[in-house]
Structure 1
């Protein structure tokens, strides 16, 4: 277990964390609705506006692990409040940017602050929730994030249409203010203060962050960056400061569930690439139909996440995570027979959503329970990086399949992703603690 100290569960920090995570995760998608009008006003094309999304996700993935190691050394309360304030300031910079490069700078700052929130995720839960209730806590966080996320993109569209694209980057500020207020009142400090990162940690940011950034950009038609990622990762691995993280990911009971998280997250390639093209090109649906179909999936995730957390506390996170993998595979297999219409597609995706709802809460609880004492932040950073890599690789793999088999791309893509998720289940079986 992460710690032997007795903890009395307090739910207000969990709500605070859920609101903060809602802000962080919806920022990944809600900005997309502003891209056309943003590009028109600032005079940039679609290729450039894509960096509005990448400018947020890349730093968030790149520095998640160093941010987690920093959080393990300092007062997590101060780090969390600093992150929320940073998101607020960066959002204002983005919203009022007079030129495109200032907007991109604001998005990068948002991503850096968001990485700090992700790094504080596990330490806050560990400090506020007793071990027997941590599955429930994570389930509640995911449920609030998911339900709130359901309204994010539609509300962003309404805001952009009524008040302009700049309002999209300000719409989360009321939620951010509530989270900041609750954090000040409910989170407990440990007296360690807010010491800045040392030179060793900055070097980790440069090398490991550069390696992860290069790896993710390699899937943006820059394959040569894989070699850069490997070189930077090797250099990082030779740093003395990398040993705690390397020691963590070399432990079989942590490494294999982490691999499971990466592989199962790749199933997002179905949702973010295969389904939209299938609905529009094969079923003749509209973009609105795509949104409705995906909404059914997301609803399944939201409904099951809180249930999954309670089940994980009662029956064990490993067993519930494995059940989530199995149901996800069933949902994928259900997509192989001919799909006759939107309703037919929706109920099959709902099954997959149930599987993902079971899996997400349980795998987070499992990885949290396997983190050594004093390394909850590092474990959270590693988990966030694994999830980001999976969510990037999945759509890239699906796109390659579609390009290679234009006639049966959907079915072939489902088969490939099913195999990937099955391999994730095998890894989870191999990682069970004896």
Structure 2
């Protein structure tokens, strides 16, 4: 195997992450236009975020199990293709109800893809720079797609329409699905990744790992707060702080863009540390503090807070996504299911928190909404203190592997 092969696979998977978040966040950039066309307010618009995350949450574990049964490559292609078709259909929607259903379907496709994509990165990198690789794909590429959707897509909408912009995002993902079908492969020394029969004991052990549950629950609050903030910060900046639409969109995009350096820095240093718990819990508490400051800082400081929230959430997410392999030591053919369990737990917050925020703000104020996000992020972050760190043996193995590769 060429030394460049893992990085080529990482580039292909990263394109999938970009397509995933482009088709996830592009609808948020269109919220003002969707609201005007379908005559709906903030509550209904925030419900579209939650609907995506319903589909995104329920299919993580089935997606991982599907990958075990039919193989990693087929499952990646199915997830990308399903979300791409849903993106095209979202653009063709002529009613709020139709759009809502297609957002749900889009979430299911994204869910199938992402848990298996994390597993694909892990099997190619093993203990060699695995957290950095996860940071590049699930952090930097994820954030790049979101930023592109939240800012660049605004100009595409103005030049065409929100319908066309959603349709084109779906087409892009279908092209990535085709590229994955043609070029993606799994390591030659891991034939089980082409599909294998379930071993009940191994599967049960994978989803019963205490650390998967602890770290999954720890992310629940900040996960929902991050997606709420990144998609509704523009509305706040425009309605409460006097931003114009372009500047408000850029503010939301900066939240996502900040995740690019956050993921790379977090992944690089987490690879060299045994204290994954500190990376995860520390970053979530930092996000909670920044959220609590939103109502009280001068308008110009909102840029700093937004960038900080995006940086710290993804900084910790790189270490968080390595828990199945570095802490729980899950077998490769079950990593997709294990990662799916963690993402499902986090997605509970992704569903309920935007809904609560969307109904809380109209009846109180945006300030109350930000304090709510801060408190719930902090409370769930504390759960992570019960999580374990990688064993000394696993860290020693990673160091040995890096030394061998360098030699």
Give the structure-1-normalised TM-score.
0.72
Q: Is the 8 A contact 1:327 1:354 kept in 2?
A: no
Give the whole-Å Cα distance in 2 for the aligned partners of 1:288 and 1:191: 50
Select which of 265, 288, 294 maps to 2:252.
Answer: 294
Contact 1:39–1:45 (CA<8 Å) still a contact in 2?
A: yes
Kept in 1, the 8 Å contact 2:63–2:112? The answer is yes
Deviation at 1:183, TM superposition (A): 5.1
Distance 1:292 1:126 in 2: 33
Question: Structure 1's 289 and 111: CA in aligned 2 closer, same or farther, altered over 3 A?
Answer: same
User: Is 1:67 the counterpart of 2:63 in the alignment?
Assistant: yes
CA distance in 1, matches of 2:60, 2:102: 18
CA contact (8 A) 1:79 1:116 kept: yes
2:268 and 2:130 mapped to 1: Cα distance? 9
Distance 2:380 2:58 in 1: 23
Q: Which residue of 1 is the match for residue 149 of structure 2?
A: 152
Q: CA deviation at 1:135?
A: 0.6
Partner of 1:163: 160
Give the structure 1 partner of residue 396 of structure 2.
none
Q: How far is 1:405 from its partner?
A: 4.4
Q: What is the root-mean-square deviation in Å for CA atoms of aligned residues?
A: 3.9
Say which of 304, 309, 321 aligns to 1:347: 304
**Structure 2 CA distance, aligned partners of 1:158 and 1:350?**
22
In structure 1, what is the Cα distance between the partners aligned to 2:88 and 2:235? 35
The structure 2 residue matched to 1:187, chosen from 170, 185, 188, is 185
Structure 1 residue 60, shift from structure 2 partner: 2.8
1:79 to 75, 82, 89: 75
1:421 to 348, 365, 377: 377
Structure-1 residue corresponding to 2:218? 260
Give the Cα separation in 1 of the matches to 2:334 and 2:256: 31
Would the alpha carbon gap of residues 332 and 399 (structure 1) be closer, same or farther in structure 2, given more than 3 Å must change? same
Report the more deviating stretch, 117-126 or 186-195.
Answer: 186-195
1-structure distance, mates of 2:359, 2:106 = 31
Q: 1:46 aligned to 2:40?
A: yes
- Of 311, 318, 322, the match for 2:269: 311
Alignment of 1:121 onto 2:117: yes
Residues 5-404 of structure 1: matches in 2 within 5 Å?
10-33=6-29, 45-46=39-40, 56-95=52-91, 109-141=105-137, 142-172=139-169, 173-174=171-172, 176-178=174-176, 180-182=178-180, 184-188=182-186, 248=206, 250-268=208-226, 271=229, 275-276=233-234, 278-316=236-274, 317-335=276-294, 338-341=296-299, 343-369=300-326, 370=328, 372-373=330-331, 374-399=333-358, 402=361
Gapped regions of structure 1 (runs ≥ 5)? 1-6, 199-240
Shift in alpha-carbon separation, 1:313–1:302, aligned structure 2, 3 A: same
Cα separation, 2, equivalents of 1:78 and 1:125: 15
CA drift of 1:286 comes to: 3.4
Counterpart Cα distance in 2 of 1:168 and 1:426: 40
Contact 2:91–2:164, Cα closer than 8 Å, also in 1: yes
Task: Measure the CA separation in 1 of the matches of 2:334 and 2:282.
Answer: 27
Work out whether residues 23 and 175 of structure 1, in 8 Å CA contact, stay in contact via their aligned partners in 2: yes
Contact 1:63 1:112 in 2 (8 A): yes
Moved more, 316-325 or 138-147: 316-325
User: Is the alpha carbon distance of 1:119 and 1:349 closer, same or farther for their aligned partners in structure 2, counting shifts above 3 Å?
Assistant: closer
Q: Deviations over 1:7-38 (max 9, x none)?
A: 99711121111111221222122134557767
Counterpart position of 1:212: none
Specify every segment of 5 or more residues in structure 2 that has no aligned partner in the other structure, as ranges.
392-407
Residues 259 and 159 of structure 1: is their aligned pair in 2 closer, same or farther, counting only changes over 3 Å?
Answer: same
How many angstroms apart in 1 are the aligned matches of 2:140 and 2:242? 32
Deviations 1:21-59 (A, max 9, x none): 221222122134557767998xx5538985876664433
State the distance in 2 between where 1:403 and 1:103 align: 23
CA contact (8 A) 1:36 1:46 kept: no
Distance 2:306 2:48 in 1: 29
Q: CA deviation at 1:376?
A: 0.9
Provide the secondary structure at the position in 1 that maps to 2:258. Answer: helix
String of CA shifts for 1:50-103, please: whole Å, max 9, x gaps: 587666443332222222222122211122123333444444455557888877
